[in-house]
Amino acid sequence: MRWLHIISRRGHVSTGEIFDVIVVGAGTAGCVLAERLTNSGKLRVLLIEAGGPPTSSFVSIPAGFTKLFKGEQDWNFETEPQAAISGRKIYTPRGKMLGGSSNMNAMMHQWCHPADFDGWVDEGATGWGWSEVASVFREQERWLGEDGDADRGRNGPMLIAPNRHARSLTRLFVDAARRAGLGEEAQYNGHAYQGAWVAELAHKAGRRFSAYHAYLEPAMRRASLEVVSGAHATKIDVDGGRATGVSVRRGAHDQTFAARAVVLAAGAYGSPQLLMLSGIGPAAVLERLGLPVHVDAPEVGENLQDHPVLPVVYRTRSRDTLKSAESPLELLRYLLFKRGMLASGGVEGFAFTQVRPGPVAAPDIELLFLPFEARREFLEPPQQHAFSLGPAVVAPRSRGRLMLRSPDPLIPPAIDPGLLSDPDGIDASVLWEGVRLSRRIAATSPLAEWNTGELRPGASVQSDRELLDYASTELQTVYHPTSTCRMGSDARAVVDPKLRVRGIDGLWIADASVMPSVPRGHPNAVVAMIAGRAAGWIEEAIVA
């Protein structure tokens, strides 16, 4: 396929054309929206993306995603100084390309926990309970594993496969976690999970199979879809209380596209920033920056959540680690057969459990298993044969915010996830218990036989104070930002449960920013579910 900055059947988009829908952002949500909104042929859709096509070879190589970090196809965000960890800033990668972060994540496919969605209903997101969303997860996936779980989808666009390239250490971790008492459940998606598993991946024949492949590539064959890449959205055009189009900057030129409706799919960072740049946000902030105020919406940018994770690293006498992934033999194996270490997703296993009694009988910790040495937020390659366990707080109480630094749309917003900031210290308590659980599993057979000692933080680091000192140098997130444009039934919610932006007609948001709280797990499938449901409501509203 020939790539252009404007990718379309006709090769150009006229600024005088009025589209039925403009979708801003071509990550997972935008790809799903583009496909679903053009499926019936009733709507003309324009998809706008700041990045370009996913042309890097590291996109398709499953274990190559960290090579994309801080490159041209990464937004390369960084948090504000985090008060709980001595003011350290945390690198936060996000995909800047068609397919977005689904082209640079660990490909893990999780529906997340039923309690997440029932909890959303309790927070005012009526119609988003487990009974309403479970069927969407099933419909959007094509499970390529063995039969035996009637809850799995077999006909959807998202190809999901078992990780048949997982390292032997990963299977030892799963066995050890089960022996440590975490549970023996054979399946996790579609269930109230408790246990340990080798991850299911968005994977096809040894290659990544992202939202770009599942949704956008098929949709781009349709005459009803136009895709403009290399276009940074600068504002939503509003006239008389209605969204009428989107302005973009392409190189040194500004351009405006008109539409009957606009859908934001720019994620938990991009969507609230664009709302505020367009005059929809906290009035005092907008006025201070000299921006117009169309809607005083004080919660735009508020409620930011992410999963904090703290790696615990162990030496191993095994040589079956991803330290060897770039060896000539492994490179040849992948190039010829699409097998071996490079066909792995990097984060190969995980476990869920509850380490602290809470109001809901659901996991509060996830243990990620990586068959390699995690170093400096994955920005340095492994230096020795090792494995890493990453306890992550999956139901955090802490909330942060995204703030507009400037009226210049090209200046990144200020990102403050407020990690470990909850006033009762529950998130930190859960994280420390997660570290101790990681140590218990690493000392449990059969993983224990391959564990030759704790590298970081070191066995001498035991107290909560010592663990906090270690977190001040090593804490990061699992790159799951959510909730900055939360949906709800109350007047302060940015969007209503049908994802319509309050106070502006013809404007929707359908991405991770609308989640009332971050779900327990890796939310790519949840984002796709949100966008799929939104597409039906949007088409119904426009066609009617």
DSSP H or E run through 508:
strand 507-509
Q: In three state form, how does the secondary structure of 187-215 look? A: CCCCCCCCEEEECEEEEECCEECCHHHHH
| 304/428 Cα distance (integer angstroms) | 17
What is the residue type of 360? V
Q: Diameter of the chain by CA atoms?
A: 69
Containing 280, the helix (H) or strand (E) segment is strand 280-281
CB-CB contact of 447 with 441 (8 Å): yes
Which is it for the CA torsion 440, 446, 447, 450, positive or negative?
A: positive
158 torsion bin: left (phi>0), alpha (psi -120 to 50), beta (else) = beta
User: Of 124, 118, 136, nearest to 537 (Cα)?
Assistant: 136
CA-based nearest residue to 166, from 315, 337, 350: 350
Residue 257 to residues 38, 275, 501: CA-CA distances in angstroms? 18, 17, 20
List 165, 213, 307, 480, catalytic entry = 480
Please say whether the beta carbons of 133 and 115 come within 8 A: no
CA torsion, ordered 357, 399, 421, 414, to nearest 10 deg: 160
- Active-site residue flag, 232: no
Structure-token match 């250490």, residue found: 169
**Residues catalogued as catalytic:** 480
